[in-house]
Structures are given as C-alpha cells and as structure tokens.
Amino acid sequence: MFYLHTLPIMKKEISIKTKCSPPTASIKREIFQSGALLALIVMAVFGFFLSSIFYYSEISKAKAVINRTNYAVALIIDGYFSEIMNTLKVLEENQDIREAMVLDEEARQRILDGYRSIRKANKNITFIYSGYENGLMLINDYTPPEGFDPTTRPWYRAAMAIKPETSIGLPYQEIKTNEWLVSTSRALRKSDGVYSGVVAIDCSMNKIVHLIAQHDEYGTDFSFVMDRSGEIIMHPDQSLLGKSLPEMKEAFQLDSKGDFTFRVDKVEYFAHYSRISSTGWAVVTVVEKREIVRPIISQVLFLIGLTCAIAVFLGLVQSTLLSRRLSRPLIELGRKIKASIAGDELDADKYVYPNNEIGIMARELGQLAEKELNAKTRALQASEEIYKTILMASPDDITIADLSGRIIMVSEAAHRIFGYGPEEGPGMSVMDFIAPEDHERARGNIVKMLQGNYPGPNEYRAIRKDGSCLDIEVNNSLIRDRQGNPVRMVLIVRDITSRKKTEQQVQELVRQLEIERDLAQRNSLTDSLTGLSNRRFFDNALRTEFLRHKRSGSQLSLIMLDVDHFKKYNDHYGHLAGDDCLLQIANALKAVVKRPPDIVARYGGEEFVVILPETDLQGAAILAGRIGEAVLGLARLHPTSDTSEFVTISLGIATAENHVLTDGAQLVALADQALYQAKKDGRNRYKVLTTSI
C-alpha cells in the first residue's frame, strides 16, 4: 500500500486589510540591474573557462588520434619487415643458395623454384633474388639488362657493408621500370667463410605507402618513415625519398616524448613519432594544425553563445531569487499561512506592508490563500495517483516493505520477473523471493543498510512463483520520517539472468584465449621438429647468461655442433630420413646434457648449440666428447660420408672468461670458428677456442 499524507484544508479566514495605495517605489529596476550584472559576470567567467577547457581537451584528443595512428603504422611496418627479415635469415642459411656459383643449372633452377614459392606465399614480395661476385644473378620473371653487374647495385653493396647483419629498407628505382622499390638484403657466406653473394627481397614502395596512408579522422594526416641517419625512406611523396628534413631533427632534439610541432612552407603541423625496435627507424605521423584548430574554434564560438544564453537564464533566475529576498511581505504572508494551516490564532497585523508591487501582491495572496490551499490539496491527491502509475510502469520491480522485510506493495513488474501479481505480493516476506542459500547474506545486507552502511547493489539467486530460478540485482534504500528515522524499505529489483549468462560466456572465452595464448607462446620458443629450444629462445637465453657472466666473472662456455656431410645424407636417403636423423641427434643431446642450467637448442638446419653456464674449457671439452660418442653410438649408416660409415658430428667449443668479450655474439663467433677448424681438420672431432689473455 502506498501512503501519501495530505495537509488539512484551511477552514479559518485570514483577516487582511485590503485597502491598497499606489506604490511609492519600484524594485523592478533594482532586480533588472542585479540580474544584468550577474549575467555579465557568468558570461565572462564561464565563457572563458569552458572555452579554455574545451580547446585544450580537443587538442589532447587530436594528439591522441595522431598517437594512435602512429602506433598502428609502426606496428604495420614492424610486422611487415620482421617477416621479410626472417625470410632472409632462412634463405641465408640455405647451403644451395650460398654455393650457387658452383652449382649446375638444375640446382639453380631448384633455387629459383624456391624463390617462386616464397613469393607466391607472401603477396608483399615483388622480387626475391640473389646476386654473386662472379656476376651471377638468380631471379624469376625478370631479365637483367645487358652488362648488368649485381655487385654494383645498392642492395648488394649495402648488405656487404654491414655483413653479417641485414640491410633493411633501402629505397631505389628499378633500372628497367623506374618503379620505386624497398630492398632488404643479407650477405651470403660460403662454407669456407668467405662472403661471395647477397640474397635480397624487394617490396613495392606503393604497397607499403598504401598500408600506412589510410586516413583515420583527419583528411590531411599521413605517415612517413626515416632511417637511423634521418633520411626519409618511405613517404607518400616519392620526391622526398632519400632526403632529410631539418625541421624533423630540430623537433626530435626539443621533445623526446614523441609529440612535437613543426612548420614547413608556412604550414604548421602537429606530429608524433616513435621508433621501431627491430629496425631502428622513426615513424612520423603528421596532421595540419589548421584542420584540427578550425572546427575547435567553431565549437568554442558555439560554446560561448550557449554560455551567454545560459548566463542570461541564470541571471533571470537570480533576479527572481533576489526579488524574493527583497520581499519581506511575502515572508510574513507565508508565516501567517503556516499558522493558519496549523490552526493557531493570529494576533492583529503588526507588520505594515510597503506601498510597492510586493505589498499589493501580498495583500492579494492573503485573500486567495484558502482557495489556493484547497486547490493544492486536490493536486496532492492527484499526484498520488500519478506516482502510483509511474511506479507500476517501471520495468524493474519496485517493492516497498517494512523494516522486518514484510512486503507492503509490489509493482506490476513483479509479475513479469517473479510471476506474482501486485495483489499477491503484500504480506509476503522479501526472503520468499530469494533462494535459501542467499538468505544469510541478504539479511546481513539489510542490517548494514539499516546501520547506514549500504553495501549495494547486491546480486542474489532468486526463485519464481513456479519454482524456477533466476539471477537478480537489488538496490536498497530507506524511507525516513521527519526526524530522520527509517520507517520503510524500498527494494528495486532487476532481472540480470541474461547478463550473468553473458558474463559467464565472456569469462569462458577469456579462459580459452589465455590457453591459446600460452600454447602459442610455448610454440614460439620451441623447435617443431626436435622439441628443443629454437633459435629465438637461444638468443634470449645467451643474452641473459652473458649478462650474468659479465656481472659475476664466472666462466661461460658454448658448444656449436654440425652434422658431417648432412646434405649428402639428405640427398641419399631423402628429407624425411634426414629429419628423423636430426630428431635422434636431438634426443642424444638431451640424454647427455642433463644439468638443469645447461640449455640445448637447434640453431638452424643441422646445427645445434649448447649453453654451459659456470663451465670452464675443460668441462666443456669433456661434455663435447660425450656428445660425439653418443651421436656415433646411434650407429646411423652414412654410406656417402667421407669421414665415417656412420653419422658423425663436428663440434666447436668457445669459453668466455676474464671479461674479454663484450657480448654473446662474439662467443657465438668464436664457437663457429672452432667448428670451422674442426671441419677443416677432418670432421668427427671437436676444437676449442678461448678468450683468455
């Protein structure tokens, strides 16, 4: 039941002298002047602050858009060239490509077939080719012009200049079509250790520019890329390729956080740059400042106009309030009306109304008091019905209960949610709607609400009239009397069954994604054939162990081993047998290298590496001998070997000590030199190199 208390109707006339005299003064001018002054102050203050806040907010938003676009472009380019670099590393390790100068035409055709397959698999590749010091050029679907010498081309010289590293992102014009291409190349080293060629991949500059030239929210935004020296290597305007912008260099020096502004040909730009870790390039995204500022200024002017309108409105409101404060007669009239409502007797009038508009209004209101109070009583009764209508139309169930939880009234939504009609709910307990397992928690939450520590909204398992269950969300509130004491509870109940089901589905999806993420992470660090750690894991592990060696001064050894005459083995038995041979060698390595801190990894092809922390040269040599014996003990026949009738390996050992080396790459180079010496001395043996001085 919904209770509304109405005021008793005044029955007693209020005696007011109605004799009117013309006003001797007017407060209209005072009210108008006060309102106008307030409007002017509000317009100035609010207009300034709102415009300033909006301006800087929109500038920050624009910079965020530029930063987001820049980040996306950097990710695209990083992923684009990381794939190209990884492909080059795989090609550089191919023995046939390294030795192409001495191969027959059939072998060279196999190389070209491989190039064609890679190009078909990766649509971003325009050309894939290799050039050699003797003038040999291996490339599909392209005939070099007469007298073409690959060793004079920029991609060849760039790769040779930084060997054994990869030359990344060299822009050049193709000699026949004048098309702008981006070349990434890597020097090829023959088995004797001499660099005699370069393998390269060309990508179309137009494709890359198209990837990074997609507009986000601004029509003038674009991105371009600069190399480590500050020269532009990718730009929508190809006339700028190979050039550097002094404005960029100055901006980089002034602001190291990425955001900066610069001016070119009287056009000012907002810009953001970031660096790609894999290439060292700087990706710059720019937008013309005027494109950002013009709409902001328009909106600021609109805000100023809106603020003026609001200021005028507030000035009028303030004028009204001010007039009330100046109208003592109305206050006196209100006091008399309240006394009449309470049934108190009033003394004769002691207050003399002023001879102005307020005084006249007060006298007239006094005469109309009884009539107006009667009208308000009827309005209050009508408002009760309106509140009931609103209450019943709510999509959520609104329940009113006493402090013991006994229901006084429920809304129409109770039938849709619980199956009970408004006439069935009164008299029931709120606990009749809550599942037994949640009763204790629900009672505790009601106690907390009564103590002023509202814990809501709360979620419960509920029961419908037919016995089925659902999930609900309950917001609680208290109805208080004039003294502030609670007299009723209001509970707003919402059916959240669908939301809970969706949350469970989302949680299940998150768990599945986490499982797939962990699986992908494990696969990214493991060689799929042998189950050993892969090259990526090895590089990270060697970097960590070398840093530990530099800190503590402990000795760190590395064994690099290679299967003797493995190409001949593959040619004789086939690649499936070769894969099985590598798998058995990997198992033999795992059986011999058992110490927990030691790491065994597949370095690439038929090469394996073993990281031996806290191990000196003698210990590494003993372990290398055991590894060689274990592989020989596999007794896998190798009839085409020039070394033994069985499969054998050659090993190179290097030890870092006395803080001579500066990084792990030098240790790998030493082990590789030792392995080369072992092969040169006849294979099926190990050789050692140390950094002692």
pLDDT at 503: 83
616: tokens are 């000196």
Q: How far is it, in rounded angstroms, from Cα 645 to Cα 575?
A: 19
pLDDT at 4: 35
Q: How far is it, in rounded angstroms, from Cα 333 to Cα 359?
A: 10
Q: How far is it, in rounded angstroms, from Cα 281 to Cα 285?
A: 13
pLDDT at 558: 96
Residues paired with residue 475 on neighbouring β-strands, in sequence order: 492
Mean pLDDT across the stretch 254-279?
A: 75
Burial 529-553 (b: 16+ CB within 10 A, else e): ebebbbbebbeebbeebbeebbeee
Query: Which pLDDT band, with edges at 50, 70 and 90, does 591 fall under?
Result: very high
Identify residue 17 by its one-letter amino acid code.
Answer: K
pLDDT at 14: 35
Burial category of 456 from C-beta neighbours within 10 Å (exposed 0-12, middle 13-18, buried 19 and up): middle
Q: Which long-range contacts (CB under 8 A, 24 or more apart) does 449-455 make?
A: 449/476, 449/478, 449/489, 450/403, 450/478, 450/486
Cis status of the peptide bond prior to 236, with omega within 30 of 0? no
Q: Looking at residue 646, what DSSP letter applies? A: B
Q: Select, from the ranges 17-31, 335-349, 466-480, the one with the highest average predicted confidence (pLDDT).
A: 466-480
Q: Looking at residue 564, what DSSP letter applies? A: T
pLDDT at 590: 95
Q: How large a percentage of the chain has pLDDT more than 90?
A: 28
Lowest mean pLDDT among 3-12, 169-178, 195-204, 265-274: 3-12
Q: Where are the alpha helices (DSSP H) in 167-288?
A: 205-212, 246-254
Q: Which long-range contacts (CB under 8 A, 24 or more apart) does 430-438 make?
A: 430/399, 430/401, 430/405, 430/491, 431/405, 432/463, 433/462, 433/463, 433/493, 434/460, 434/461, 434/462, 434/463, 435/460, 435/461, 435/462, 435/463, 435/469, 437/461
Query: Which pLDDT band, with edges at 50, 70 and 90, does 380 fall under?
Result: low
pLDDT at 451 over 90: no
Mean pLDDT across the stretch 323-328?
A: 57
571 vs 320, higher pLDDT: 571
Q: What are the angstrom distances between the C-alpha of 1 and each of 6, 391, 406, 423?
A: 16, 12, 12, 10
Whether the CB-CB separation of 82 and 90 falls below 8 Å is answered with no
Q: What element of type H or E holds 587?
A: helix 575-592
Mean pLDDT across the stretch 564-588?
A: 95
Mean pLDDT across the stretch 145-152?
A: 86
139: tokens are 């490339």
Closest C-alpha to 534, from 587, 596, 604: 604
CATH of 535-690, one of 4.10.1240.10, 1.10.357.10, 2.40.50.140, 3.30.70.270: 3.30.70.270
**Residue with token string 């191969």:** 103
Portions of the chain given CATH number 3.30.450.20: 64-291, 395-501
pLDDT at 67 over 60: yes
- 394-408 residue pLDDT tens: 778 788 889 888 988
Whether the CB-CB separation of 188 and 200 falls below 8 Å is answered with no
Give the chain's count of helices (H) and strands (E): 17, 20
pLDDT at 343: 46
Mean pLDDT across the stretch 418-434?
A: 84
pLDDT at 10: 36
3: tokens are 């209770």
Mean pLDDT across the stretch 110-120?
A: 91
Closest C-alpha to 273, from 77, 455, 98: 77
Q: Where are the alpha helices (DSSP H) in 93-204?
A: 95-98, 105-121, 154-161
pLDDT at 28 over 80: no
Query: Which pLDDT band, with edges at 50, 70 and 90, does 556 fall under?
Result: very high
Q: What element of type H or E holds 367?
A: helix 357-393
Closest C-alpha to 133, from 175, 96, 101, 97: 101
Query: Which pLDDT band, with edges at 50, 70 and 90, does 383 fall under?
Result: low
Mean pLDDT across the stretch 118-143?
A: 89
pLDDT at 606: 94
Mean pLDDT across the stretch 643-669?
A: 92
Mean pLDDT across the stretch 339-367?
A: 59
Within 10 Å of residue 321's Cβ, how many Cβ atoms? Answer: 13
Query: Which pLDDT band, with edges at 50, 70 and 90, does 338 fall under?
Result: low
Query: Which pLDDT band, with edges at 50, 70 and 90, does 651 fall under?
Result: very high
How does DSSP assign 269-324, residue by residue? EEEEEEE-TTT--EEEEEEEHHHHHHHHHHHHHHHHHHHHHHHHHHHHHHHHHHHH
pLDDT at 111 over 50: yes
pLDDT at 8 over 90: no
pLDDT at 13: 38
Q: How far is it, in rounded angstroms, from Cα 208 to Cα 204?
A: 7
pLDDT at 248: 67
> Cα-flanking dihedrals φ and ψ of residue 183, to 5°?
-105, 135
Whether the CB-CB separation of 322 and 61 falls below 8 Å is answered with no
pLDDT at 680 over 80: yes
Q: How large a percentage of the chain has pLDDT more than 70?
A: 77
pLDDT at 615: 93
Q: Is the CATH code 3.30.70.20 the one for domain 395-501?
A: no
Lowest mean pLDDT among 153-157, 189-193, 295-299, 434-438: 295-299
Its sign, for the CA torsion 425, 427, 430, 431, is negative
Whether the CB-CB separation of 282 and 274 falls below 8 Å is answered with yes
Q: How far is it, in rounded angstroms, from Cα 176 to Cα 255?
A: 43
pLDDT at 7: 31
Lowest mean pLDDT among 242-251, 432-441, 486-495, 556-565: 242-251
- 474-523 residue pLDDT tens: 888 888 888 888 888 888 888 888 888 888 888 887 777 777 666 656 56
pLDDT at 675 over 60: yes
> Cα-flanking dihedrals φ and ψ of residue 662, to 5°?
-105, -20
Average pLDDT of the chain, as a whole number = 80
Give the N- to C-terminal CA distance of the chain in Å, as an integer: 98
Mean pLDDT across the stretch 263-286?
A: 80
457 vs 207, higher pLDDT: 457
Whether the CB-CB separation of 150 and 198 falls below 8 Å is answered with yes
Fold of 64-291: Beta-Lactamase (3.30.450)
The residues near 645 (Cβ < 8 Å, ≥ 6 apart) are: 637, 638, 639
pLDDT at 378: 66
pLDDT at 12 over 60: no
Closest C-alpha to 527, from 585, 449, 601: 601
**Residue with token string 């500059």:** 205
271 vs 17, higher pLDDT: 271
Residues paired with residue 609 on neighbouring β-strands, in sequence order: 560, 601
233 vs 331, higher pLDDT: 233
Mean pLDDT across the stretch 44-50?
A: 75
pLDDT at 592: 95
Q: How far is it, in rounded angstroms, from Cα 70 to Cα 77?
A: 11
Burial category of 305 from C-beta neighbours within 10 Å (exposed 0-12, middle 13-18, buried 19 and up): exposed
Q: What are the angstrom distances between the C-alpha of 254 and each of 64, 195, 225, 627?
A: 20, 43, 19, 57
Whether the CB-CB separation of 398 and 418 falls below 8 Å is answered with no
Mean pLDDT across the stretch 542-559?
A: 93
Closest C-alpha to 544, from 589, 623, 611, 602: 611
Whether the CB-CB separation of 188 and 262 falls below 8 Å is answered with no
Query: Which pLDDT band, with edges at 50, 70 and 90, does 636 fall under?
Result: very high
Q: Looking at residue 527, what DSSP letter applies? A: -
Mean pLDDT across the stretch 380-397?
A: 67
Lowest mean pLDDT among 466-470, 531-535, 567-571, 586-590: 466-470
Query: Which pLDDT band, with edges at 50, 70 and 90, does 541 fall under?
Result: very high
Within 10 Å of residue 196's Cβ, how many Cβ atoms? Answer: 19
pLDDT at 570: 95
pLDDT at 23 over 60: no
pLDDT at 282: 82
Q: How far is it, in rounded angstroms, from Cα 57 to Cα 63?
A: 10
In terms of residues, how long is the chain? 693
